[in-house]
Amino acid sequence: MEAPRALPRATVRSAARLPLRAADDAVCTAFDGLIDGRDDHVALSFPLKRGGAPLARIHSECLTGDAFGSLRCDCGPQLEEAIRRCSAEGGVILYLRQEGRGIGLAAKLEAYGLQDGGLDTFAANEALGHAADGRDYRVAAQMLLALGFHRIRLLSNNPDKASQLAQAGVEVVAVEPTGLHESAHNQKYLDAKRSRGGHWL
């Protein structure tokens, strides 16, 4: 296994209490010095309820699923699950502005049209000239390290997240799977995540 690659150090830019419907003790944190140059990735953290490594979830923004309740994907239910579990156990959600596997909202809607024509979520991104999955989780590692989290339990079904964190110097002591949030509308999407993305579903 490769040695971890040192990343530039990110710092906390601002933090504020953010009471949520599901948890009134959350804190939202923004950062400076992230390697992609953005300042709109945020961490949503909850007080630790027990010793050991905190639970951490890397969640890529999905406006359609997170805010509108789209059934095309499992993003909204995964975010709700992460908030519920992190608030109960203590931990942090890294909310990354990487809509559509990194292609942005407008392109994601274009990709939806191609998916309606038969392509899967990865092939649709490629047909538009993008990487199948262009997300970079090193910014999540920077955020974790800036918060003082060097060891975590990762809440995820995506092996790439664990791999990228480990290469960036965050020790993943355990990977805990998210629930399988299936519906009649997202079965092909989940099948593609399993077959092309290597997700543990």
User: Tokens 């239910």 — which residue?
Assistant: 77
DSSP single-letter state for residue 198: -
Residue from 99, 73, 98 nearest 157 by CA: 73
Tell me, yes or no, if 135 is annotated catalytic.
Answer: yes
Asked whether the beta carbons of 169 and 70 are under 8 A apart, the reply is no
Which of 57, 135, 138, 153 is labelled catalytic?
A: 135
Structure tokens at 167: 């290469």
Tell me, yes or no, if 133 is annotated catalytic.
Answer: yes
Which of 66, 74, 120, 133 is labelled catalytic?
A: 133
Report how far residue 161's alpha carbon sits from residue 98's, in angstroms, rounded to the nearest whole number.
Answer: 14
Report how far residue 163's alpha carbon sits from residue 147's, in angstroms, rounded to the nearest whole number.
Answer: 20
Asked whether the beta carbons of 137 and 155 are under 8 A apart, the reply is no
Mind telling me the catalytic residues?
Answer: 133, 135
